Amino acid sequence: MSTGISPASPLAALSTSPRPAAPMRTTGRAGAWVVALVWALPLLGFTAAALVAPSTGCDPALAGGVPCDARGSVVVLGVLSLVLLVPLGLLSLLLVPVLGALRWRPPAVVLALAATGSALAAGGVLILLGNLVA
């Protein structure tokens, strides 16, 4: 029985073209999870906390540059956290395709958590090595 597509037809090439691999979709979703977990959720949390925190209107310049109310403390903590989360997120995004290329085929969320945990461990090892050298 004939399918109606001749081998010389342009449709024949399309019907036998390879499909995109499933791990690529998983890796893309895992990258989105890393961005959401490492950057978006903390940003939303610190933004909400800064909006809700009371402000006394004091001048940090008069207090030696130290935040003198709850809102200033939340903002400073958010900036310090951002300094740590940016390299962690970048390293996690680099590890997502590496871990996705292994034989282990986890769901996207587990892959994102594994990449973030691996990046956190690698950062800890680098800090320990830096302390040993210094």
Instruction: Give the start-to-end residue ranges of the domains of the chain.
Output: 22-54+66-133
Residue 122 pLDDT > 80? yes
Instruction: Give the separation between CA 76 and CA 53, rounded to whole angstroms.
Output: 13
Given this model, what pLDDT does residue 59 score?
Answer: 77
Q: Could you say which DSSP state residue 39 is in? A: I
CA dihedral 60, 62, 66, 68 (to 10 degrees): -60
Percent of the chain with pLDDT strictly greater than 70: 82
Interval 35-55 mean pLDDT: 90
pLDDT digits (tens, 9 = 90+) for 52-96: 988 887 877 777 777 888 888 888 898 988 888 898 899 899 888
Assign 26 a pLDDT band (cuts: 50, 70, 90): confident
